[in-house]
Chains A and B, each alone.
Chain A
Amino acid sequence: MRTRSIDVATPVQPTDGSGVQPTNGNGAGRSGPDGPTAPAAVFRGISHSFESEDGTLVTALDGIDLTVSPGEFVAIVGPSGCGKTTLLNILSGLEQPKVGSVEVDGHAVRTGDREVGYLFARDALLPWRTVLGNVELNMELFGVPKEERQHRALALLHDVGLDDYAGSWPAQLSQGMRQRVAIARTLATQPALLLLDEPFSALDAQTKLVLQDAFASLWATLGSTVVLITHDLAEAIALADRVVLMTRGPGRIKAVFPVELPRPRSIFSLQSDEAFHRFYEQIWMQLAEEVTPR
């Protein structure tokens, strides 16, 4: 039984090459009632570099080792330009690392894997499809039969509170509503591994909390493994089982913090939760070193 008596997060330094084993077990092995068994995601010695415009080689990632347990929610936080998004792109198969490898459930990943769901900062809704049509899109590409598609899409629209907007066009929705549609679209295929690239960053402060809360409760029923990329530390702590802190470029893992807050969590009550703020201060001290100019 976890209680709130735990003082502060203890940073775990990823010194050995084997990656960090989850220390809390909060999310380990979690599997939703109807979702498929959640996979583990493993980064092994990932290093990556880009050629900049003047031809010099810029190291984006340097020796990343990280193991995400099945059903675990891991948030990767770091200053902008630390290679967070590159890390996610590598995990998704969109980019190949120069050094090292990634595995999801023991397999190399490729794009179009039906077990993997993506959520981006920009909603990428198709303006020529209705809200319902947009939620159906991923299922359509994965070959889900029409009736089931519509049935699931309507149920998800209900879950994200957009029952009345199924027939609307994306242009008629606010930014927050559009991102809800994107969430519904991503979750509709019931991905076992969810990759979130700053999905709430384009929203205003209040809408952000509302959507984080909605997402957290949907995730609880789905039980997928989640890797969240964010620059918002509060968001990382509120949602994740572990917060991985990255250094300013070249991106290395600076520290890993288990977030031992009980679940289910209400994002709203966390805002005034003492333990939440202790975690925040603890991690922020380390993050600030990376964010503030040297």
Chain B
Amino acid sequence: MTTVADVGALADDVAVSVARPRRRSKRRNVGARLLQLAVIVGLFGSWQLLASTKVLDPAFVSEPSQFFPAFWHGVTTGDLLSLMGTTLYATFVGFAAASVLGLVAGYLLAEFKLIDLVARPFMTGFNSVPRIALAPLFVLWFGLGALSVIILIVSLSFFIVAFSTYAGLQSCNRDHLLLARTLGAGRFVRFRKFVLPSAAPSIFAGLQLALTYAFLGAVVGEMLQGSQGLGGYLALQMGTFETTNFFGGLVLLVIVALLVAGAVRAVETRMLRWRAYELRGTRR
């Protein structure tokens, strides 16, 4: 018979079995991090060298010794940060709206044959339109400001989430569906316990890609408007040949994009821990 102590011991076992592969990958990560650092140093070092020796004209490419201080100044004074805040606001609102709409649309496509047959050709068609070209139209319709940027983001990210959700919801294993049937699972239980978990990896992949496109849509949308957010700032600096400020703003953009993407990946790794084992297929 199993006692409470057994369950406790069991929990320890679980912790051990989970920690082991993680520790192994940590060691591997240190080497990778050092190499990444070397790449960064090499990149900016040679950039600095080429600019200092005037092989490349600093007026066009600026130089790290200039734009890193410009970046730091913008961060410490808060000027760049408030611009970044505007861009992040549009990114997140657009991403959130696209995700919710995309998840619902993907579900409807996967679950209702008629909706799939009728709507999917239209979606595929609209998805093949280069949305960036529509940005001026969105400004015309929704005015200068955050709304038209958000609409641009939704038009980019929605389809990614919808199609990856649709594909994920259809990827459920036949054996699992047979099991659900023999257990007499109703529509909701089948969806909740069998179909949705098997769709999770595909949905997460879609969300990650959609976030990347949300960032892209935010910055490009702002650049085309030329008035707000970090995108507007970058367009303005470019227009006045302030390459140092331009690269300074770009550094911040890259850092923030990496942080956000890293956060999403951390959530994914946490929620889909089983996936690492499934892909590796190791035995304990």
Interface residues of A (CB under 8 A from B): 92, 94, 110-114, 116, 118, 120, 122, 124, 126-130, 137-138, 140-142, 150-151, 154-155, 158, 164-169, 171-174
- Expressed in whole angstroms, the minimum distance between the Cβ of B13 and any Cβ of chain A is 6
Bound-state Cα–Cα, A126 to B182, Å? 15
Is the CB–CB distance between B184 and A113 below 8 Å? Answer: yes
Q: Which residue of B lies closest to A113 (CB)?
A: B184
Q: Are A168 and B193 in contact (CB under 8 A)?
A: no
From A138, A171, A174, contact of B278 by CB (8 A): A171
**Known contacts A154-B7, A166-B13, A169-B274; A141 and B175 CB within 8 A of each other:** no
**CB-CB under 8 A for A120 and B14, given A112-B184, A154-B7:** no
The interface centre, meaning the residue of A111, A129, A138, A169 with most chain B CB atoms within 10 A of its CB, is A169
Question: B258 in the interface, Cβ–Cβ < 8 Å?
Answer: no
Interface of A (DSSP majority class): loop
Q: Select one of A126, A151, A167 contacting B10, CB under 8 A.
A: A167
- Cross-chain contact A174 with B283 (CB below 8 angstroms): yes
Judge whether A124 and B175 touch: CB under 8 Å. yes
| Interface size of B in residues (CB-CB distance below 8 Å) | 37
Docked-complex contact A141 and B197, CB < 8 angstroms: no
Chain B residues with CB under 8 Å of A140's CB are 193
| Known A-B contacts A126-B197, A164-B13, A171-B277; A120 and B178 likewise in contact (beta carbons under 8 Å) | yes
In the complex, 19 of the A-B residue pairs with CB atoms within 8 angstroms, ordered by the A residue number, are A94-B178, A111-B184, A112-B185, A120-B179, A124-B173, A126-B193, A126-B194, A127-B275, A141-B184, A141-B189, A142-B183, A150-B7, A151-B2, A154-B2, A154-B6, A154-B10, A166-B10, A169-B273, A169-B278
Instruction: Kindly list chain B residues whose C-beta atoms are within 8 Å of the C-beta of A167.
Output: 10-11, 13-14, 17-18
In residues 168-189 of chain B, which contact A (Cβ within 8 Å)? Answer: 173, 175-176, 178-179, 181-185, 189
Question: Whole-angstrom distance from the CB of A18 to the nearest CB of chain B?
Answer: 29
Whether a CB of chain A sits under 8 angstroms from the CB of B282 is: yes
Taking the nearest CB of chain A, how far is it from the CB of B196, in angstroms?
10
* Residue B133 CB within 8 A of the other chain: no
Extra 6 A-B pairs, beta carbons < 8 Å, given A151-B2, A164-B13, A171-B274: A112-B183, A165-B284, A167-B11, A167-B17, A172-B283, A174-B283
